[in-house]
Structure 1
């Protein structure tokens, strides 16, 4: 059912969810403070999440300091070990901060010379993946404390973030929600993944879908 909703919206096949990371601003510790300063210059804790077509979180992973890149958070999360067990025709969508794999599709790197097929793929990919950005926006709208989590007990901060995600799911599954009334956070990370280091199977799968979308 989830695959069909994603496909109906943008024509992108096999999507089971969208993954991304967002920063939760915190006061920052007095020790090792630099490790919590993100690329925008403020201390934060990272939340990585996967959502479905209804903006419900399917997987959440919180606790890494703000300076850590999305790709490193992904490599260390339990989901990255489970994902290869998906059927080869199913996948998550992530932005260019994530590594391309058979079950995690990212956009073609825009070097200024993308083909029409690659541009079409990236547009459909972005239109489908936007759900996770909408989910983060709704989460921070419903739980405004996450816009600045004034806590100093670092070990407890991830528990609060995950609890908010659980309540977010409860609200969506039990109440109607107008998710058009919030601003999406700007947490896009700089590209890191290098297509040259990925498997030929993943590259072939992405190209096959790109051709199908034309």
Structure 2
């Protein structure tokens, strides 16, 4: 806290010191530790530094415990409490739809008009669960759960759904989200349509072939294609790459994932 500069903070915690202190201030009320006969109470800063080190590195609990002079079980408890606090206090404020006009303009500049989001999923490695073990083995042979997200043109998360097993199809995951119901009801985006031939096209989201073609969900053409359809696919793919880059950054920054 006293001697590291921003470069050292970024190298070790993927954030600058000011960002770390702001995060501590946001979560302070939910991270008050109590002293016991065995040890003194942990400060909010120590709570956060243990949790951030664990998620920013591939280190095991025992190594993190040795690094910060706590017990292995304490690392697990601290990590759980910090994640729950972030989920409770910061998630809805951070993961939300931004300025729709700005997002649409951003995707238009990338080549796809009247687009509001891109959707896709990725696998998050997990330890073998106690039950339904076979459900969580993915096609690459390791245990994982699915993270499905919507992102805007800048790669900011606007909606997330996590916890489904590998055996659940992307479409079923999407059907069971609140965001699907809002999109289906036409309440997620403003009523902003543009003419495309004889059709009034609403604001749409972009998905891969696993998703259905809907008035508000565009997916690529398949099969042998004429040039106009290939051009459409190229435009959709270039915008859809935004979400692939997001997953790359997510797992590069938070290496426990």
TM range (shorter): 0.5 to 0.7
How big is each residue's C-alpha offset from its partner over 1:2-55, in whole Å with a ceiling of 9 and x where there is no partner? 111111122x10111110000001112142111111222221111000111111
1:133 and 2:244 equivalent? yes
Question: What secondary structure sits across from 2:149 in the alignment?
Answer: strand
The one of 51, 67, 71 equivalent to 2:171 is 71
Distance in 1 (CA, whole Å) between partners of 2:175 and 2:139 is 20
Unmatched 5+ stretches in structure 1: 147-214
Distance in 1 (CA, whole Å) between partners of 2:237 and 2:110 is 12
Size of the alignment, in residue pairs?
143
8 Å CA contact retained: 1:19, 1:132: yes
Shift of 1:79: 1.1
Distance in 2 (CA, whole Å) between partners of 1:22 and 1:80 is 18
Cross-structure match for 1:3: 104
Cross-structure match for 2:125: 25
Cross-structure match for 1:116: 227
Pairwise CA RMSD: 1.2
Unmatched 5+ stretches in structure 2: 1-101, 192-200
The one of 96, 99, 113 equivalent to 2:212 is 99
Shift of 1:99: 0.8
Bigger Cα Rg: 2
8 Å CA contact retained: 1:49, 1:57: yes
TM-score normalised to the size of structure 1? 0.64
Runs of 4+ in 1 over 2 A off after TM superposition: none
TM-score normalised to the size of structure 2? 0.54
1:16 and 2:116 equivalent? yes
Cross-structure match for 1:39: 139
